[in-house]
Each structure stands twice: as structure tokens, then as C-alpha cells.
Structure 1
Amino acid sequence: VELILIDESLHLQNGIEAILTMVEENPEILDDYHFVENIRQSIIDAVELELNYLKTKFGGTTIFGVSYGELERYMKYIADRRLIELGFNPQFGIDQNPLKFLQKEDVKKLTNFFEVTPTEYTNF
């Protein structure tokens, strides 16, 4: 699970960097309401889709000690952080991480694969 979280965090960060680079190189793109709104709405829609999926899996129970409500708040917390990182206002108003045990992965220092021998992938 740890490696999956790291991998997904890298994909996410890559997407954010790509958007920020596009804006930096083409600042006029911020005047395009449809471009800006599409990015914002895509994040909100992704949260809704994921929560709908999780609702079918949780069925009123907990999984590994985490309730649906806790996971819902965590996902909204992460979405707000990503929106802020992209320059948007937060959508969900959750400013504290409700699942502290996931915080370690969220801020994990990554090794530059080409400069040193990475140790994070030695489990294989």
C-alpha cells in the first residue's frame, strides 16, 4: 500500500506541475473561464465519483478501522489542498487532516532516482 500511495502522489504532483507550468508559460489561459472551471470542476467531480464508489464498498461498516465518514472528510481535505495548490478557493472547508496516519505518506521525501540508489523500492 505504501508504494501505491507514493506512486499515486507522484502522478498527482506531476499533473499539478503540468497545469502550473502551462499557466506560467501562457498566463492568458487564466482568462479562459472554461479552462479554469474545467480544472476546478474535474477535482470536485473526482471526489464525488470516488465517494459514490466507496459508499457501495463500505455499506455502513468500517474497513481497517476507517469509517466511510472519516474517508469522506479525508478526501475532501485532500481535494481542498489540491485546489489551493492550483490557486483555487477550497470547496469543502476541511482544513485539518482527519486521518493523521496518512499524513506521513503525503509529505514523504522522495529520492531522485537518477542521482542515488532509491531505497523506497527495495521491497521487490
Structure 2
Amino acid sequence: MPAYAVAHLHTPSDHEDVLRYIELIQDTMEPYGGRFLVHGSPVEVVEGEWPGALVMLSFPDTEAAHDWYASPAYREILPLRTGHITGDVVLVEGVGPGYDARRTAAAMRTGHGRPAIS
């Protein structure tokens, strides 16, 4: 199942360290099958508020996403971003091709929680 790294960057910056981070991040992702889905695109807020920017990365699975985030190569460049940008980053597993939200609602109604996401 695919996994995603989603970053809500509250205080985007063009600081030289951030630009260096952007130059280097691709090489840290490639060994784990990571790729950008969203990077620097303007967001259109249709509900609520969204200060800042959105970045979304895709990985083949949760293990690859975790391995990338914990990798020495990524940990080495991470302070280039975190020293200048505040935000939130989450890793989340996606849903499989057969996912049906109606099954999730039915399971929640019967008190059986959420069914498998495949």
C-alpha cells in the first residue's frame, strides 16, 4: 500500500539553507522510491484556514517512508529546513485500490471500528 509524507509548512522561507535543503532532498528520497506529488503549488482554501505551504511525497509503502525519514542522509539535511521553517509533518498509509468509504461508514455504525483499508 502506498504511504505519504505530508508537510504543512507554516512559515515558508527562501533562506539559503532552505534552498540547499531543496537541492539535496531528492537524492535522499530516491533510494526509498520516494517522489514529490505536491511541492510549492499554490493551495486554494475552500474550507477553514491554511497558512503556509503544502508538500506531499509518495513512497511505495509505510516502511519505505519511515526508512527515508530516519535515514542518515535525510537526518543530515533536515536541520537546514527546520532551522528556518515551522510546520507539521505526518507519515500516513494510503488506501488500496479496492477501498470503499461506504464499508468504513457501515463498520463505524455497528461499532466495529474501521475495516482494513485495502
TM over 0.5: no
TM-score, scaled to structure 1: 0.26
> Higher relative contact order at CA 8 Å, sep ≥6: structure 1 or structure 2?
2
Comparing both structures, which one devotes a greater share of its residues to helix? 1
Comparing both structures, which one devotes a greater share of its residues to strand? 2
TM-score, scaled to structure 2: 0.27
